[in-house]
Homo-oligomer: A and B are copies of this chain.
């Protein structure tokens, strides 16, 4: 027996296997996941595992390594989140999200830090040796809402898209703030004197870390898109580039102390539409599927490790400090959301209701990021207290808040996500309104989001697409290809039977429009049809439809980690095509 030799891969494989089997186990009983969120169950499994290890070895089980977490477990989840991010609601609410992420997080950090410092002054608690700076450092790591925990809970409760994107977007973008504040306070802790210039440098770093991350991400994203232009002859490695470039963007950002999370999201969002257009349909399925799979496994492992790491002797149980931490986390977040939303609502027509505000405040879950950061703290005598407090906050938010948020959403009758994807008609109207509003903004000289969106779209179609897309080979679903073949055969048959020259029926016209929705090129192959109609009218119709409909295949229902968007769609479309075809015969 030579266990030493295979130990590392063997143990990694076994952990992943345990995680996957645990996931299967939960889903065998349908009722369990509908009551208790999966994250809670996984932490529970972790606790049991940790207990077993502790019982057998009589020493604390290994804690989750911060490096493993930040370098290997976090990126797949963030990549998945960025790649499947519904970009429209995200950019529509970007202002609000940034306000919550930046101002809200700072508010929480200082709020929690100063109030805990206040608690430390109470002599009865014996905490007078915890300095203000240490409290602020602790605040900086405990304040940030965790994307992994938020995703795990929110994808199960299916609130409406805006509410989801507000909480989830905040949890992603606050990374830049957390990184800066955490590193700032940590270096302050090690400095003897703090000059005021250091504080200004800290403020400047916000922008560097955040915008630097975006820049790194976009650079890698566009390079990835450019690379996939040349993979036509070697389809099998196409999916690889999506993963390689996004991971490189994360690592590069981390290397320069920028926000890796922001970088990978910018990379994923930047490359998505070009890569999708360049790579084959099968490659795309693989990319989507593997991303989901990978993030799902990472997420499972994180929660199991959280559970395992909780067991042991790393904690100092000073209950007043711990309890006040939980209370302050709740209070300051609630206050922050209230105040910020008050300002947000003054500038928006579509306001955030008080129910929504409650869910936003209540959905501020903490997770593995805090946990990894607290272990990364430099050694000092109260580190174990911070670890204990962080553990309790995480378990409290994941278990208590995570398990009660679904009944609360039901009780408050919060607006839920719509069941079905928007119809073609709705899509057309949304697009039409966008153009209209862009025009109005242009005329009124107001540079709003529609104006910028329009400019960006222009820039994209004029320059970016030409550089990044391999246009002559756009992906077609196999159904469309099949349809094209049949269409060609049918045309030959008609020609042989001498039946050409008839005006096309209404259904075949509809059909040509319908095909546009799948691919704006198909209609062009339908030459006969074009010749019989007035070309100008037809071109107009086609242009309108093509512009408005060409992305329908890409628009799925709201974000959910366990399903792939638009799964059943092509079949339904094709079915409709074939039924129309049927009738026209």
Interface residues of A (CB under 8 A from B): 1-3, 5-6, 8-10, 13-14, 16-17, 20-21, 23-24, 27-28, 30, 67, 71-72, 227, 230-231, 233-234, 236-237, 239-241, 244, 247-248, 251-252, 254-257, 282-283, 285-286, 289-290, 292-293, 296-297, 478-479, 481-482, 485-486, 489, 561-562, 564, 567, 570-571, 574-575, 578-579, 582, 585
Contacts and interface: CB of A to CB of B under 8 A. Distances in A.
Given A5-B255, A9-B251, A230-B28, A289 B296 contact: no
A295 B285 CA distance: 19
Given A236-B293, A247-B13, A293-B240, A230 B485 contact: no
Contact of A571 (B1, B24, B283, B482): B482
Given A28-B230, A239-B289, A286-B286, A570 B255 contact: no
Main SS class of interface, A: helix
Contacts of A256: 1-2
A575 B286 contact: no
A509 to B, nearest CB: 21
6 contacts: A3-B255, A24-B234, A285-B285, A286-B293, A482-B571, A489-B579
A574 B283 CA distance: 22
Contact of A482 (B240, B297, B486, B575): B575
A71 B6 contact: yes
A289 B8 CA distance: 26
Nearest to A256: B1
Contacts of A14: 248
Q: How many copies does the complex hold?
A: 2
A366 to B, nearest CB: 24
Contacts of A24: 227, 230-231, 234, 237
Given A251-B9, A575-B482, A20 B290 contact: no
Nearest to A237: B20
Contact of A237 (B3, B231, B293, B482): B293
A182 to B, nearest CB: 15
B16 A240 contact: yes
Nearest to A21: B227
A8 to B, nearest CB: 8
Contact of A236 (B10, B286, B562, B574): B562
